[in-house]
Structure 1
Amino acid sequence: MSLARRSLMEAAAARFGWRRAYADTTDADGLLIEQTEAAYTEAADHAQLATAKNGDVLHVQPCVLDVRGRVLADVLYLEGLLVGARNRGLPPELIERLEDAVDHGHEMTVLLADTVRTTAALHAAS
């Protein structure tokens, strides 16, 4: 099944509060590969568009702000999953992976915030 079709089906299911879980690592790996391929296909266009549009530092800032907002929201969602995993006594390996993802996500939001500040500082200095 294509990623687009699977995404549409999962979006429809999510509206009813349903989510699909993959009990087999082969199925999970297949979905991860599809997600990666789709992201890289889309990313090829991003570099070309960014080169055309980002003429100065302030052109970069709104996009970085958007990314930071999405990352922060996702990290806070992961933090909730982590709390739930701890409260339910789920396996320590899962909790460790979630902790790593949450920590990395928070680090990423800090780096993105620094990038936003850098765009403002560089613009002010010019």
Structure 2
Amino acid sequence: MPLARRSLIEAAAARFGWRRAYGTTTEVDQLLNEQTETAYRDAPDHAALATAKNTDALTVQPGVLDARGRVLGEVLYLEGLLAGARNRRLPQELIARLEDVVDHGHELTVLLADTVRATAAAHTAGH
């Protein structure tokens, strides 16, 4: 299906809270590639913006806190998907992948929390 038509169908479905599932790995790979291309195309030059804005440790902190909050919310959502997959006895490979993602997500939230603490510690050490 052409990208423009698929995007229109997906936009209409999203208005009703529906999400489309993709039945083949070819479709999934195409979608993942489009997601990646869109993210990189639409992303600002983070390095330049951060260099200009982040003049000390405390100015880094709000961005890291925001990222941790978003990641944690997504990890909890993925935990729900994992629980549902287990309860419905979906394929073990899917459950194992979801477990890996959830574990990695929790590890990432811990690393982000440690980074937030490091911003405060660096600020305290500098005073």
Q: What is the TM-score when the length of structure 1 is the normalising length? A: 0.89
Q: Residue 24 of structure 1: CA displacement?
A: 1.1
Q: Distance in 2 between matches of 1:10 and 1:77?
A: 21
Structure whose CA Rg is larger:
2
Residue type of the alignment partner of 1:84: G
The equivalent residue for 1:87 is 87
- Most deviating of 42-51 and 104-113: 42-51
5+ unaligned residues in a row in structure 2: which ranges?
none
- Pairing 1:1-126 to 2, within 5 Å after superposition: 1=3, 6=7, 10=10, 12-43=12-43, 45-126=45-126
CA–CA distance in 1 between the matches of 2:12 and 2:71? 23
Determine the C-alpha separation between the residues in 1 that align with 2:12 and 2:111: 34
- If the length of structure 2 is used for normalisation, what is the TM-score? 0.89
Q: Which runs of 5+ in 1 are unaligned?
A: none
What secondary structure is seen at the aligned counterpart in 2 of 1:109? Answer: helix
Deviation at 1:9, TM superposition (A): 5.4
Specify the code of the residue in structure 2 equivalent to 1:109: T
Q: Secondary structure at the match of 1:20?
A: coil
Percent same amino acid at aligned positions? 74
Q: CA deviation at 1:91?
A: 0.2
- Tell me how far apart the structure 1 counterparts of residues 72 and 9 of structure 2 sit (CA, whole Å): 26
Deviation at 1:110, TM superposition (A): 0.2
Aligned residue pairs: how many? Answer: 123
How far apart are residue 10 of structure 1 and its match?
A: 3.7
Amino acid at match of 2:61: Q
Q: Distance in 1 between matches of 2:65 and 2:24?
A: 37
User: Residue 33 of structure 1 aligns to which amino acid in structure 2?
Assistant: N
- Alignment RMSD, CA only? 1.7
Q: How far is the alpha carbon of 1:98 from its aligned partner?
A: 0.2
1:107/1:11 CA distance change after superposition, 3 Å: farther
